[in-house]
Amino acid sequence: MTVVLVADDDADIRDLVAFKLEQAGFEVIAVEDGQSAVEQARDRLPTLAVLDVSMPGLSGIEVCRMLRADPATAGILIIMLTARVQEQDVEGGFSAGADDYVTKPFSPRELVSRIQALLSRARA
């Protein structure tokens, strides 16, 4: 089963994303802050991580950079999930190593579709 790490400090969004991913057949690790995301990524090595940009402590951008810098976690696919829609914010996410960038408000169905598409391309 594909493991997906979901890191968002907003419990409602975290729970919604986790629920939709579980419905789609993924195993979900849900955490509420950046430090927990890094720890779980290192411990569990998920296939993909969905990271909120604005979290307490470490931001999603910082988590992304840390995961990319560590050879053990560098291969984790990363989708940034954020309310920040300025062009410079999107560029910052991609320059940190994100594979995709989804802005809030978002369609949970679209997020699951993006995750499935990213996983399909990565397996090809």
pLDDT tens sequence across 29-46 = 999 999 999 999 999 999
Q: How confident is the model at residue 89 (pLDDT cuts 50, 70, 90)?
A: confident
pTM check: above 0.85: yes
Residue 84 to residue 47: CA distance in whole angstroms: 25
Using N-to-C axis directions, what is the helix angle for 60-69 and 34-44, rounded to 10°? 30
pLDDT at 123: 82
Residue 90 scores a pLDDT above 90: no
Distance, in Å, from the CA atom of 62 to the CA atom of 10, rounded to the nearest integer, reads 18
Confidence band of 24 (pLDDT split at 50, 70, 90): very high
Regarding predicted confidence, which is higher, 94 or 87?
A: 94
Under DSSP, is residue 48 helix (H, G, I), strand (E, B) or coil?
strand
